[in-house]
Structure 1
Amino acid sequence: MIDATQRIEDNGAPAREVSRSASSLEQLAGSLKASVERLKV
Structure 2
Amino acid sequence: MAGKLYMYHPEQQQYVERGYGILKINESHDPSDWNKLQARL
Q: TM-score, normalized by length of structure 1?
A: 0.30
Relative to its length, the structure with more helix (as a share) is: 1
Which structure's relative contact order is higher, taking Cα pairs within 8 Å and 6+ residues apart? 2
Larger gyration radius, structure 1 or structure 2: 1
